[in-house]
Amino acid sequence: MNKTMTEIRWHGRGGQGAKTACLLLADAAFASGKHVQGFPEYGPERMGAPITAYNRISDLPCTIHSNIYNPNYVVVVDESLLHAVDVTAGLDPEGAIVINSPREPEELRPLLRGYTGKVCTIDARKISEQYLGRYFPNTPMLAAIVKVSGVLDPDRFIADMEASFHHKFATKPQVIEGNMSCLIESMKEVRGL
Cβ–Cβ under 8 Å, residues 149 and 139 = no
92 is an interface residue for other proteins by CB under 8 A: no
Q: Is position 60 an interface residue for other proteins (rule: CB under 8 A)?
A: no
E strand intervals along the chain: 6-13, 35-40, 50-58, 73-76, 96-100, 118-122
Give me the half-sphere count of Cα atoms (radius 13 Å) on the Cβ side of residue 142: 28
- Work out whether 23 is an interface residue with other proteins (CB under 8 A): yes
**Is residue 14 involved in binding other proteins (CB under 8 A)?**
no
Q: Does 4 bind other proteins (CB under 8 A)?
A: no
Give the nearer residue to other proteins in terms of CB position, either 65 or 134.
Answer: 65
Q: What whole-number distance in Å separates Cα of residue 129 and Cα of residue 110?
A: 28
Q: Report d(CA 30, CA 124) in Å as an integer.
A: 24
Is residue 7 at the binding interface for other proteins, with CB under 8 A as the rule? Answer: no
Kindly determine how many residues on this chain lie close enough to bind other proteins according to the rule CB under 8 A: 22
User: Nearer Cβ to other proteins, position 8 or 99?
Assistant: 8
Task: Kindly state whether residue 43 participates in binding other proteins, applying the rule CB under 8 A.
Answer: yes
Closest approach of Cβ 120 to other proteins, in Å?
Answer: 25
Q: How far is the CB of 174 from other proteins (least distance, A)?
A: 24
Cβ atoms of 20 and 55 closer than 8 Å: no
CA distance 122 to 101: 6
Q: How far is the CB of 7 from other proteins (least distance, A)?
A: 12
Pairing between β-strand 35-40 and β-strand 118-122 as defined by DSSP bridges = unpaired
User: Contact positions toward other proteins, by CB under 8 A?
Assistant: 1, 23, 26-27, 30, 35-40, 42-44, 61-67, 69
